[in-house]
Amino acid sequence: MTIQVGDRVPSTMLTKVTAEGPEQVSSEDYFKGRRVALFSVPGAFTPTCSARHLPGFVEKAGDIKGKGVDEIACTAVNDAFVMGAWGKGAEVDGKVTMLADGNGDFAKAVGLTMDGSKFGMGTRGQRYSMVVNDGVVEQLNVEEPGAFNVSSADYMIERL
């Protein structure tokens, strides 16, 4: 079942990319007591994700945080080292936290997986964005397959 606005984010483990290396964090702890803008991409270094999705949130980080968001995070079904390298290459510089969902546990728990097998990618997370306020989904924007509209930073800003 797909997560909905008003639902609590399920408890799974994610890996936060830090300057000191990968850090395991439970989703429950990560979202507790703050408002987080989270966006999911099918994969690090993939065309739309690298050219538009991540850069949009990096460029608009100040605008998003100015609307009462404490942190912006990007998740993908990739390992922490790939997410770290992608974040470094994209110059996220503390504007976006990279959260690895290496086994896809978070994507499965929120019911937002996709089958990328025909592209050699296996099971991945769908492209979406959400605002999580103290562990509860406040806004959810799930893309149609192949689209990039409602999960963008600009779309989120319009709705904050």
- Tell me, yes or no, whether 59 lies in a domain: yes
49, pLDDT greater than 70: no
Residue 15 has phi, psi (to 5 degrees) of -120, 115
Number of domains in the chain: 1
Quick check: is 84 in a domain? yes
Positions marked catalytic:
49
Task: Assign 58 a pLDDT band (cuts: 50, 70, 90).
Answer: very high
Q: Tell me the residue range of the domain where 86 lies.
A: 13-159
pLDDT confidence tier of residue 103, bands split at 50, 70 and 90:
very high
**Three-class SS state of 79:** coil
CA distance 72 to 5: 18
47 has a pLDDT exceeding 90: no
Q: What does the alpha-carbon distance between residue 55 and residue 58 come to, in Å, rounded to a whole number?
A: 5
Q: How confident is the model at residue 25 (pLDDT cuts 50, 70, 90)?
A: very high
pTM: 0.93
Q: What is the pLDDT of residue 147?
A: 87
